[in-house]
Amino acid sequence: MRARGLRTALRALSAVAQIHHGYAASNFPVPWSVKYYGPDGPWQAISVSVGGIDTQATTQVDLYPSGAYGSPIITSEACEPYDDTPCGAGGLWSPTNVDATATSYRQGWIGHADQVEAYGASYIQAMTINGQTVPYVPLVAIDNATITSPAGKKYGPQCGNLALGIGGGVQTQNFPDASSDVDTGFMFLPGLYNQSIIPSYAYGLHYGSATLKYGGSLVFGGYDKGRVLGRYTNYTGSEITLLDIGIGVEKGGSPFASGAKSISGLLLNNTGQPTSVTVNPNPGIPGLYLPGKTCQEIAKHLPLTFDTTLQYYVWNTDDSQYEKIITSPSYLSFTFPWSADDDPSSSSPSNITIKVPFLLLNLTLDAPLASTPTPYFPCIPIDPTGGDVYRLGRAFLQAAFTGHNFIETHSWLAQAPGPGSARDGLGVDRVDLQAHATAIETSDEGDDGEVWARTWDGYWEPLAEDGAQTATPTALSGDGGGGGGGGDGSSSSSGGGGDGDDGMSTGAKVGIAVGAVAAAAAAVAALLVWWRRRRMRAKEEEGARTMRDDKCPFGCPYGAHVLRCPFWLPDYPQPVELWTQPPMLQGTAVTYELPGSRPLSPRELDAGSKSMRSCRQSGA
């Protein structure tokens, strides 16, 4: 009776959503969290409600936007091994009271760069963002999760991910053996497009900075023109060639020991030779995942030490260069090839450069990664294998705009502005993207750097030509005024800043501001985690737990993880998933989904496998 009532209610909700077909579609801004997360940030996230249509069945959670199909959401069971840590600080979901829409599938959340390995049962449930509901959304209730730090420390995730999609076409996730009569789900973004609420299956994203209380911008079916500055580049799929990395000074004297204002050629392969590499801009992961020799070469020019215990590059805060670098107009630059789809006749230079101020790369390691808040530089050495690529995560997207049109399998990358006086970039200016859009409009397309530099006024202060500090950045000397949140109407109560001690250096104030954000978030997270776990565990004792396979308790794997489960049957058909090529935010390999036709509990696969028995894709 209860299951029938839930299905009826979901269908009614779907029918109501169809009313939007009679109205003009327009872009849809996504709200950002009022809390910040770590332990390698601080980071802001997206606020959503999942798991039902009434308040008793709905849970508010914060998620990082990312790729893939099902959105992985943390449950209290996943955090049980990590007591007294902020695991699940973004919200815990208990799906036990909505088992009518469970499927027979277990899926995986595998991150090779950031070393995430997590698994959970799949559900088709409603998701609500900013007051708008999509009834049938694939969700994964993560009940087993491990993140492994570069030093080998294992801990639980604070937030799950909001699936944006993969590849091209309007995508669904099909569950032929679902235990309910709902066996097909749309991710939230294509669900909005399918209901004609937004004009395109596309998005525009700029991550902003939690440290500076500079709210992010995520717009479905459009983008915020006020977050796109100067020329942009186009590329197909989710990967682009990174040509070089450099160090520069926008104006004033040099803060570097060498006195140089421009240093190039820092992108090296793992034999120490200059190179170009394929990268994937990905908001679902935190750092800059690059060749080890590249990180070493960058570190030669900065007051950094590779901490052999933490296995991260940490800032030497006692070095006088540290304060000069993070408070002056100095930056790390990333050079990409320029594709002129928007203006084939243009004679502009063939490359574009995206600049990330070092102020944004002064991030904090907190518990459980470090015993005390530790300023670090987020260059993380990796060696991609199995067709994987290097990654540019949230650290990069603090200063870059990215967007993607799934119908056209077309992506954009551009410089994002600084916070500006109102901490909303160049001002909120949301623009619709039509279904087959391949070009976007930008602000100050001919900007030679002057407009970009102006958006950082108050957050940095040029040095004298001899390298001496001349003034303190006004936005860093205290609260800085203004609220965070930018164009999507979200502000944070956990932002850094404060009046501080008049005798304290600006570098120390910046460090304290960053640390304060992380510490405040950790304290609030610990309290919320304790309360939520207590409540969730009580509920779970009353409901049935998801049935697991006796031999492979977390699902029998496929691909690189198969050796971990000796009970995998070699004659069992290889799992397949909706095939869309190339995958979005997942690398170059084909992505797979699992069949539920046998009692074994399947799981999501490595991106490295090229095998495919079948493919499904529903076009626009």
Q: Tens digits of per-residue pLDDT, 288-310?
A: 999 999 999 999 999 999 999 99
Please check the confidence at residue 69 and state whether its pLDDT lies above 50. yes
More confident residue, 541 or 132: 132
Identify which of 424, 432, 426 has the alpha carbon closest to the alpha carbon of residue 454: 426
In total, the chain counts a number of residues equal to 620
Binned at pLDDT 50, 70 and 90, residue 265 comes out as: very high
Please check the confidence at residue 201 and state whether its pLDDT lies above 90. yes
Dist CA 285 CA 401 (whole Å): 16
Q: What is the pLDDT of residues 99-156, one digit of tens each?
A: 445 565 788 888 889 999 999 998 888 899 999 999 888 899 999 999 999 999 999 9
Binned at pLDDT 50, 70 and 90, residue 608 comes out as: very low
Dist CA 380 CA 376 (whole Å): 11
| 39 cis-preceded (ω within 30 degrees of 0) | yes
23-27, 427-431, 442-446, 474-478, range with the lowest pLDDT? 474-478
The type of residue at 95 is P
Q: Give residue 144's domain range.
A: 2-200+526-551
Specify whether the CB–CB gap between 261 and 325 falls below 8 A: no
Residue 303 included in any domain: no
53-67, 134-148, 169-183, 323-337, range with the lowest pLDDT? 169-183
CA diameter of the chain: 78
Dist CA 173 CA 502 (whole Å): 57
Structure tokens at 21: 């077909």
Residue 205 included in any domain: no
Binned at pLDDT 50, 70 and 90, residue 408 comes out as: very high
pLDDT score at 485? 44
pLDDT score at 170? 53
93-107, 319-333, 375-389, 603-617, range with the lowest pLDDT? 603-617
More confident residue, 62 or 471: 62
More confident residue, 436 or 342: 436
pLDDT above 90: percentage of residues in the chain: 56
**Beta-strand relationship, 379-381 and 288-290:** parallel
Dist CA 2 CA 100 (whole Å): 8
Residue 123 included in any domain: yes
Structure tokens at 512: 């304290």
Identify which of 498, 585, 492, 411 has the alpha carbon closest to the alpha carbon of residue 41: 492
pLDDT score at 596? 44
Identify which of 334, 254, 336, 321 has the alpha carbon closest to the alpha carbon of residue 294: 334
pLDDT score at 605? 44
Query: How many domains would you assign to the chain?
Result: 1
The type of residue at 416 is A
Specify whether the CB–CB gap between 32 and 64 falls below 8 A: no
Binned at pLDDT 50, 70 and 90, residue 505 comes out as: very low
Tell me the average pLDDT across 471-488.
59
Dist CA 28 CA 565 (whole Å): 44
Q: What rounded mean pLDDT belongs to the chain?
A: 78
62-66, 164-168, 266-270, range with the lowest pLDDT? 164-168
**Domain CATH number, residue 147:** 2.40.70.10
Side by side, the strands of the sheet bearing 312-315 are: 304-307, 312-315, 374-377, 363-365
Tell me the average pLDDT across 483-505.
40
Radius of gyration of the chain (CA): 24
Residue 77 included in any domain: yes
pLDDT score at 123? 87
188-202, 311-325, 576-590, range with the lowest pLDDT? 576-590
Binned at pLDDT 50, 70 and 90, residue 163 comes out as: very high
Q: H or E segment at 304?
A: strand 304-307
Specify whether the CB–CB gap between 180 and 95 falls below 8 A: no
Which stretch, 15-19, 393-397, 605-609, has highest mean pLDDT?
A: 393-397
pLDDT above 70: percentage of residues in the chain: 66
Q: Which residues pair with 63 in a beta bridge?
A: 46, 160
Please check the confidence at residue 185 and state whether its pLDDT lies above 50. yes
